[in-house]
Amino acid sequence: MGAAGSARPAVAADPAATGISTGLVEPVRWAFRVDPAAGGDGRAAACRGAVDARAGAAVIETILPAGVAGAELFTDPPELKPYPGEEGLLSAGAVDKRRREFVGARHCARQALAELGEPPAAILRGERGMPVFPKGVVGSLTHCDGYRAAALGHTLAVRSVGIDAEPHGPLPDGVLGEVSLRAEREELADNSGEWHLDRLLFCAKEATYKAWFPLTRRWLGFEDALITFDLTAHTFHSELLVPGGVLDGGPPLREFHGRWTIRDGLILTAIVVT
């Protein structure tokens, strides 16, 4: 379920041939751009009233449990710069967009650290690009066009966190078959409506991988998790189809339970493992 390591690329060998962009935060994954002409924002606006949101809360916080801190940006403040210790994580040739994504997501992480009562710190990069948080903290970062976010929790209460953000629009042609199981495609076909459920499925798969990898340090293919949705409760279930032995001394992973929202042209998914 990712583009790093020894397994095949998740979707295509040539991203440019499919309109797919590959610069992402955390274990290197495929990210998809939406064509504004596809009407994603308009469809999102039509369903905002059905989305449960806590008044005044950051959008990401509406799908996080108590005890997990979330922070987000919808624009990149021009004064933001890499935190001391992070500049070296960016390649010398990194384009401006990549730099802004990198800096913005990590700025969100420090905002979430402050909410947890922790001092600011550099967010380094570990195995397969996994963000490395200060001792005693676990978390996840995400970004897409016009959005950056972080969600963090203390290890005394949380084992792992996985979040993902995607623009609310359809996946590029031919991609769904590469990132889904037959049962998942059948469920999507039975629930057509205003939401782009194919993109929601991809977003849930991404959150699943991000929650899985820090605990296992192992690959998880798109075919290794079966996702089902409750479209009324705005929740989803990830059934893990491979052995889930972990490195933190906790019980093996068999399933994840997550939440999702569609709002302001965005899809957000979150999994918190306790």
pLDDT the model gives residue 7? 31
- Give mean pLDDT, residues 257-261: 98
User: What single DSSP character describes residue 200?
Assistant: H
Burial grade of 53 (CB within 10 A; 0-12, 13-18, 19 or more): middle
Share of the chain above pLDDT 70, in %: 79
What pLDDT, in 10s, does the model give residues 171-181? 999 999 999 99
Fold of 15-273: Ribosomal Protein L22; Chain A (3.90.470)
Q: How high is the mean pLDDT of the chain? A: 84
pLDDT the model gives residue 56? 52
- Give mean pLDDT, residues 172-198: 94
> Which residues are within 8 A (CB) of 53 and not within 5 positions of it... i.e. 6 or more apart?
59, 62, 261, 263
pLDDT the model gives residue 25? 40
What pLDDT, in 10s, does the model give residues 106-145? 999 999 999 999 999 999 999 999 999 999 999 999 999 9
**Distance in angstroms (rounded) separating the CA atoms of residues 25 and 2:** 12
**Distance in angstroms (rounded) separating the CA atoms of residues 25 and 14:** 20
Confidence class for position 71, pLDDT limits 50, 70, 90: very high
Phi, psi (degrees; rounded to nearest 5) at 258: -135, 170
pLDDT the model gives residue 41? 38
4: alpha, beta or left? (left if phi > 0; alpha if psi -120 to 50): beta
> For the whole model, what pTM was predicted?
0.82
pLDDT the model gives residue 31? 42
